[in-house]
Amino acid sequence: MLLTTLKLKSIKEISIKKFILSSLVFACMNTSVEALENDGSKPNDLAPPKEASQESQKNETQKETPQSSQTPKEMKVKSISYIGLSYMSDMLANEIVKIRVGDIVDSKKIDTAVLALFNQGYFKDVYATFEGGILEFHFDEKARIAGVEIKGYGTEKEKDGLKSQMGIKKGDTFDEQKLEHAKTALKTALEGQGYYGSVVEVRTEKVSEGALLIVFDVNRGDSIYIKQSIYEGSAKLKRRMIESLSANKQRDFMGWMWGLNDGKLRL
């Protein structure tokens, strides 16, 4: 009988070979996946970062395009006119706005011209229109003072003196703030003449279109007279010396006569 001996591999060797084979297969699979990624073979719904960035920039540009188209462009001035202007000539207005026919202007330059006109103090409102090269300035002028009257006090000479202190005269533009200042100045002037507690009312009368008469109705206050003056603490100064330096003195007998003290209190 012929005996044949077979040499079998051990379980350990077989396990090692299986492990090596499995590792090689796993490595090959990873290599294939990396190759696919480097090759750019991704699903269509995943865009590369670079392409996504370009797409977002394109969208932002498209959004900004309508805004830039709305920006007002510079235009050439074909003509300039002034609507509702009577306080000054067109020639003087041209010098103020500093815009000439043929100039290229934008909204900023027109706004500057409108502000320069308004700052002259003659207008309640000023605005401009600019269409097709035609530039127009529109004015709402303040009323003019046709005259100033003071009723209830003084002679014409005294009234003229008061008017000069009030800071308001014929030909000025009508302004509420200026009117209040004149009213206060009139009351102060009356107090300076010895009339305290005077009441001054102001009213306006329309003379013509854009012209007003200003009337100051004065209810003159009473005068205050000093019947007796007492000076305390003046040991060395004589009474006559003190009174010579004082604007207010005790009333003399028959003080209404020239050269005597009438005793009227003055500020």
Burial class (CB in 10 A: 0-12, 13-18, 19+), 76: exposed
| Mean local confidence (pLDDT), 12-23 | 48
- Cα separation, 35 vs 28, in Å, equals 11
pLDDT digits (tens, 9 = 90+) for 219-250: 887 777 777 677 777 777 777 777 777 767 76
* pLDDT at position 69 over 60: no
Starting at the edge strand that comes first in sequence, how are the strands of the sheet with 79-83 ordered?
Answer: 79-83, 134-141, 123-131
Average pLDDT over residues 172-189: 88
CATH 3.10.20.310 residue spans of the chain:
75-141, 144-223
Q: Are 166 and 149 in contact (CB under 8 A)?
A: no
pTM: 0.52
Q: How confident is the model at residue 262 (pLDDT cuts 50, 70, 90)?
A: low
- Extract the runs of DSSP E, i.e. beta strands, from 77-133: 79-83, 104-105, 123-131
- Domain 75-141 sits in CATH at 3.10.20.310
CATH assignment of 144-223?
Answer: 3.10.20.310
The per-residue pLDDT for 154 is 79
Q: Which residue has the higher pLDDT, 257 or 112?
A: 112
Strands 134-141 and 79-83: parallel
Higher pLDDT, 49 or 240: 240
pLDDT at 45 exceeding the cut of 70: no
pLDDT in tens, 78-133: 999 999 998 899 999 999 999 999 999 999 999 999 999 999 989 999 999 999 99
Rounded CA separation 201/73 (Å): 54
